[in-house]
């Protein structure tokens, strides 16, 4: 009689197929990369990504209508150089550069401030890679998964002023 219980205890046919699919789906979801791009509206509009390459933070302060981008290295310091550049690859490639940047006291962070950031925001939104370049050092960031965060960031100034 115990042998007759096995068919009722173990799913077969469609039930077995659904259980296998649920387990497979769970493993696929768990194996998917967690996208690090995050958005916050408080205290100011902030878009951040942290990776092994470093950290990139873009802010917009509607009170003073100023954007910043800061790239922080996990180790080491930015080299001495006259021009900081950013390059965005794939989709809509663009390269921009400036000599108006500052380094933090410890040399790990580099910041650019400006009142217009259209090229930076478009570069982040419409490409798949971003590169921060100073002298002979290039730091790359993936832009995978940035879409919800960049959309919220672009909408943030209007929300902050309301």
CATH number, domain at 58? Answer: 2.60.40
DSSP 142: E
Is there a single domain that holds both residue 12 and residue 58? no
Is there a single domain that holds both residue 8 and residue 70? no
Is there a single domain that holds both residue 134 and residue 114? yes
pLDDT of 99 reads 96
| Range(s) of the domain holding residue 110 | 38-161
Is there a single domain that holds both residue 13 and residue 90? no
Output b/e per residue, 48-78; b: 16+ Cβ within 10 A: bbeeebbbbbbbbbeeeeebbbbbbbeeeeb
Is there a single domain that holds both residue 85 and residue 142? yes
pLDDT of 133 reads 98
Is there a single domain that holds both residue 56 and residue 131? yes
The set of residues, in sequence order, having a beta carbon less than 8 Å from that of 59 and lying 6+ positions away, is: 44, 45, 46, 47, 67, 68, 69, 70
Residue 48 in contact with residue 38, Cβ under 8 Å?
yes
Is there a single domain that holds both residue 103 and residue 121? yes
Global pTM reads: 0.76
Is there a single domain that holds both residue 63 and residue 137? yes
Is there a single domain that holds both residue 50 and residue 24? no
Is there a single domain that holds both residue 66 and residue 142? yes
Overall number of domains in the chain? 2
pLDDT of 103 reads 97
Is there a single domain that holds both residue 22 and residue 44? no
What tens-digit pLDDT sequence spans the chain (162 residues)?
455 544 444 455 555 544 544 444 444 434 444 547 999 998 999 999 999 999 999 999 999 999 999 999 999 999 999 999 999 999 999 999 999 999 999 999 999 999 989 999 999 999 999 999 999 999 999 999 999 999 999 999 765 443
pLDDT of 11 reads 55
Is there a single domain that holds both residue 154 and residue 101? yes
Sheet holding 137-142, edge to edge: 94-98, 84-89, 129-134, 137-142
Distance between CA atoms of residues 7 and 10, nearest Å: 6
């Amino acid at each position: 009689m115990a042998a007759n219980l096995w068919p009722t205890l173990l799913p077969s046919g469609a039930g077995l197929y659904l259980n296998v699919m649920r387990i497979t789906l769970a493993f696929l979801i768990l194996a998917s990369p967690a996208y690090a791009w995050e958005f916050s509206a408080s205290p100011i509009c902030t878009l951040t990504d942290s990776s092994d390459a470093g950290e990139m933070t873009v802010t917009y302060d509607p009170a003073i209508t100023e954007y910043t981008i800061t790239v922080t290295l996990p180790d080491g310091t930015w080299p001495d150089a006259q021009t900081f550049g950013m390059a965005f690859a794939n989709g809509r490639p663009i390269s921009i550069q400036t000599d108006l940047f500052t380094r933090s006291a410890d040399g790990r962070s580099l910041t650019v401030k400006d009142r217009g950031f259209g090229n930076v925001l478009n570069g982040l939104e419409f490409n798949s890679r971003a590169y921060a370049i100073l002298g002979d050092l290039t730091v790359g960031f993936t832009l995978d998964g940035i879409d919800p965060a960049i959309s919220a960031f672009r909408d943030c100034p209007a929300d902050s002023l309301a």
